[in-house]
């Protein structure tokens, strides 16, 4: 249980709730067991006075039994209210911690895992850990306390009967543990098959145009059928194993009842045990059997939780290299210098930049041109410090980029990525996303600068139009211009356009450049482009093709 040790601080944090939870477990078990002896006593009382009519004593016993049952119910409720609540809170804290860590990771760290894998840590793995925190801990403690109290009463009633009935129970736990492990394994396989269906469906819906265009509906349908059949097989396989679970428990209950009847019956005939005491034993066994079965189940849950927790820990232990080490905040003017910068993508070993040096003074503009794959976007990523150079250094205002306050630096950069990405939200929120406090007027002002205002007011909901899957599908050029507005609204010191005008016709491009000319005047701007016409407006042109930067190693 090594990985699960990392949860100890969480337990400690919620120790109050857990402490009460344990008290409630004791209380609920105590009343649950305490009432049993009165069942036996009533039986004995009734059989003794069978012909004497109404018996006041029995009535008192019944009242005690009812009261105990009510108290058991109440304390069981309280037990869940404390322990399960604590487990939910820990789950919440764990989810937040994982999510915060996601946000801190650098781009290269993301490349090491897939999105599906990241999502799994947040959903499946955390749920598995919560099962350990809640039911896992609760049932184990419950069983221990129950066993202690019940054994005490059972031994008090009859020693040899106790031994005969208790010995088979750990075997039951073991068998249930084995069955549960198989169930867990098979349900995991089933889940995998299920997520394969989701991925497939999502993919074919996203690419529905391509599917129709190539007239591949039949092919997709056939593939889908294969996947669904696979899922069905896995689900049936799981159901077959699950059927054993209760069968085994019911079989053991039956077996133990026979044992009690046989041995108890014999003892009764030898006058060693009353009918009432035998009745007690039936009750004790029926109370004990579920927790014993649960322990088998919980053991397998805990194993799963451990595997999940170690996956989560592995992720949380990932240290990102792009971190902020500087507290002071400097204003960013916008002088940029690349000094012998090389960059090798760690996951592929591709050398995207080789010994690149250039300089831009604050307020000036630089156009970067070059073949595809020559490393233009890599320059943009380096400048945003989304990645750090493998060799060489980048200086901003004469300081190494690594020695600038990262958050403050990024606030001063406007980056329009090559692939426009908008969130499934309104257009206004997407543009305003870049700054902390945006107003409608400001959003409109910058939408006008990015020459997209006219398009936006053409939509029925105007600035409140939803974009993305559930909203309006925007054209490539509209998306690009919304991204430009989103970058401009930051009023950054450094603006980076990564091929951001590629989807626009020359007239619109000209419009935008004219609109933002004033904006660009006192900002350093880097314009990555394939068009001579755009490049010519810049103060300097860097042509990556000439220095033949891109070469795979
Ligand atoms: N995330 C990545 N992981 C691994 N290799 C990458 C990654 N991104 C880019 N590369 C590689 O680095 C090289 C430079 O890519 P980059 O995106 O900088 O080119 P580019 O000049 O922007 O091209 P384009 O004009 O097509 O946008 C390419 O060979 C590319 O395959
Ligand atoms: Mg690029």
Find all residues with CB under 8 Å of 180, minimum gap 6, and list them: 245, 296, 297, 299, 300, 301
552/171 Cα distance (integer angstroms): 62
**What is the mean predicted confidence (pLDDT) over 150-157?**
86
Record the tokens describing residue 2, joined without a space.
Answer: 């090594």
Helix (H) or strand (E) holding 286: helix 275-316
- Among 283, 316, 349, the domain boundary falls at 316
- Expressed in angstroms and rounded, the spacing between residue 318 Cα and the centre of ligand 1 is 25
Q: Is residue 354 part of a domain?
A: yes
Looking at the structure, do residues 288 and 387 belong to the same domain, yes or no? no
- Expressed in angstroms and rounded, the spacing between residue 353 Cα and the centre of ligand 1 is 10
- Among 316, 347, 376, the domain boundary falls at 316
Task: Name the residue of 106, 112, 341, 350 whose CB sits within 8 Å of the most ligand 1 atoms, as the mutation to test its pocket.
Answer: 350
Q: Which ligand has the shortest distance to the CA of 498?
A: 2
pLDDT bracket for residue 65 (50, 70, 90): very high
Looking at the structure, do residues 363 and 227 belong to the same domain, yes or no? no
Can you give the pLDDT at residue 1?
54
Kindly report the protein residue whose alpha carbon is nearest to atom 7 of ligand 1: 345
Can you give the pLDDT at residue 538?
78
Q: Is residue 330 part of a domain?
A: no
Parallel, antiparallel, or unpaired: how do β-strands 336-344 and 540-543 relate?
unpaired
Q: Per the structure, how many domains does the chain have?
A: 2
Q: Is residue 329 part of a domain?
A: no
- Expressed in angstroms and rounded, the spacing between residue 463 Cα and the centre of ligand 2 is 30
Q: Is the pTM of this model over 0.85?
A: no
Looking at the structure, do residues 301 and 349 belong to the same domain, yes or no? no
Atom of ligand 1 nearest to the CA of 378: 18
Looking at the structure, do residues 548 and 416 belong to the same domain, yes or no? yes
Looking at the structure, do residues 311 and 369 belong to the same domain, yes or no? no
Looking at the structure, do residues 303 and 372 belong to the same domain, yes or no? no
Find all residues with CB under 8 Å of 17, minimum gap 6, and list them: 82, 83, 85, 86, 89
Helix (H, G, I), strand (E, B) or coil at 343: strand
Looking at the structure, do residues 11 and 85 belong to the same domain, yes or no? yes
Kindly report the protein residue whose alpha carbon is nearest to atom 29 of ligand 1: 373
Q: Is residue 148 part of a domain?
A: yes
- Among 284, 316, 348, the domain boundary falls at 316
Domain with 55 in it: 3-316
Kindly report the protein residue whose alpha carbon is nearest to atom 17 of ligand 1: 377
DSSP state of 184: H
Atom of ligand 1 nearest to the CA of 108: 1
Which residues have CB under 6 Å of ligand 1?
A: 111, 345, 347-348, 350, 352, 370, 372-378, 418, 499, 550
Q: Considering the chain, what is the average pLDDT of its residues?
A: 83
Looking at the structure, do residues 49 and 132 belong to the same domain, yes or no? yes
Task: Name the residue of 110, 352, 530, 535 whose CB sits within 8 Å of the most ligand 1 atoms, as the mutation to test its pocket.
Answer: 352
Looking at the structure, do residues 141 and 280 belong to the same domain, yes or no? yes
**What is the mean predicted confidence (pLDDT) over 368-375?**
84
Q: Burial letters for 433-443: b for 16+ Cβ neighbours within 10 Å, e otherwise?
A: ebbeebeeeeb
The yes-or-no verdict on residue 551 having pLDDT over 50 is: no
Q: Is residue 464 part of a domain?
A: yes
Q: Is residue 456 part of a domain?
A: yes
pLDDT tens digits for range 398-449: 888 888 888 888 888 888 888 878 888 888 888 888 877 778 888 888 888 8
pLDDT tens digits for range 307-355: 888 888 888 887 777 777 778 887 888 888 888 888 888 877 888 888 8
Looking at the structure, do residues 300 and 353 belong to the same domain, yes or no? no
pLDDT bracket for residue 24 (50, 70, 90): very high
CATH classification of the domain holding 140: 1.20.1560.10
Looking at the structure, do residues 268 and 365 belong to the same domain, yes or no? no
DSSP state of 467: B
Looking at the structure, do residues 359 and 299 belong to the same domain, yes or no? no
CATH classification of the domain holding 361: 3.40.50.300
Q: Is residue 323 part of a domain?
A: no
Q: Is residue 434 part of a domain?
A: yes
Q: Which ligand has the shortest distance to the CA of 368?
A: 1
């Amino acid at each position: 249980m090594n990985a699960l040790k990392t949860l100890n601080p969480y337990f400690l944090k919620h120790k109050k709730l857990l402490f009460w939870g344990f008290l409630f477990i004791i209380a609920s078990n105590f009343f649950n067991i305490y009432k049993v002896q009165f069942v036996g006593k009533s039986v004995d009382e009734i059989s003794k006075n069978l012909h004497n009519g109404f018996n006041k004593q029995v009535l008192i016993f019944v009242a005690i039994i009812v009261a105990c049952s009510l108290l058991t119910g109440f304390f069981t409720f309280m037990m869940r209210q404390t322990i399960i609540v604590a487990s939910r809170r820990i789950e919440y804290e764990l989810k937040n911690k994982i999510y915060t860590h996601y946000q801190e990771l650098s781009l290269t760290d993301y490349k090491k895992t897939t999105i599906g894998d990241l999502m799994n840590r947040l959903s499946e793995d955390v749920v598995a850990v919560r099962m350990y925190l809640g039911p896992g801990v609760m049932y184990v403690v419950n069983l221990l306390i129950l066993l202690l109290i019940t054994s005490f009463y059972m031994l008090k009633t009859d020693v040899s009967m106790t031994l005969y009935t208790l010995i088979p129970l750990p075997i039951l736990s073991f068998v249930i543990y084995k069955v549960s492990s198989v169930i867990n394994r098979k349900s995991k396989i089933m889940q995998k098959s299920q997520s394969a269906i989701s991925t497939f469906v999502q993919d074919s819906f996203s690419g529905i145009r391509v599917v129709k265009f190539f007239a591949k509906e039949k092919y997709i349908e056939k593939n889908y059928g294969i996947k669904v059949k696979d899922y069905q097989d896995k689900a049936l396989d799981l159901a077959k194993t699950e059927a054993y679970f209760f069968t085994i428990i019911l079989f053991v209950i039956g077996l133990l009842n026979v044992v009690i009847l046989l041995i108890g019956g014999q003892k009764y005939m030898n006058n060693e045990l009353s009918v009432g005491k035998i009745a007690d034993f039936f009750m004790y066994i029926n109370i004990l059997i579920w927790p014993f079965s649960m322990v088998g189940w919980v053991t397998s849950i805990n194993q799963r939780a451990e595997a999940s927790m170690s996956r989560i820990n592995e992720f949380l232990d990932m240290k990102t290299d792009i971190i902020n080490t500087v507290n002071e905040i400097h204003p960013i003017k916008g002088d940029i210098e690349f000094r012998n910068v090389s960059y090798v993508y760690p996951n592929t070993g591709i050398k995207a930049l080789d010994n690149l040096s250039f300089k831009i003074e604050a307020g000036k503009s630089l156009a970067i041109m070059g073949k595809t794959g020559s490393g233009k976007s890599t320059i943009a990523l380096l400048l945003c410090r989304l990645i750090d150079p493998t060799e060489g250094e980048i200086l901003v205002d004469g300081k190494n980029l690594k020695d600038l306050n990262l958050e403050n630096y990024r606030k001063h950069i406007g980056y329009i990525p090559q692939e426009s990405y908008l969130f499934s939200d309104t257009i206004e929120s997407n543009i305003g996303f870049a700054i902390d406090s945006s107003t409608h007027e400001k959003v409109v002002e910058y939408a006008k600068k990015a020459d997209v205002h006219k398009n936006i007011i053409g939509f029925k909901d105007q600035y409140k139009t939803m974009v993305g899957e559930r909203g309006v599908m925007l054209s490539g050029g509209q998306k690009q211009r919304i991204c430009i507005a989103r970058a401009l609204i930051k009023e950054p010191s450094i603006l980076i356009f990564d091929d951001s005008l590629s989807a626009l016709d020359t007239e619109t491009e000209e419009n935008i450049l004219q609109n933002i000319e004033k904006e660009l005047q006192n900002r350093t701007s880097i314009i990555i482009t394939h068009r001579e016409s755009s490049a010519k407006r810049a103060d300097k042109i860097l042509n990556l093709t000439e220095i033949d930067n891109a070469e795979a190693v």
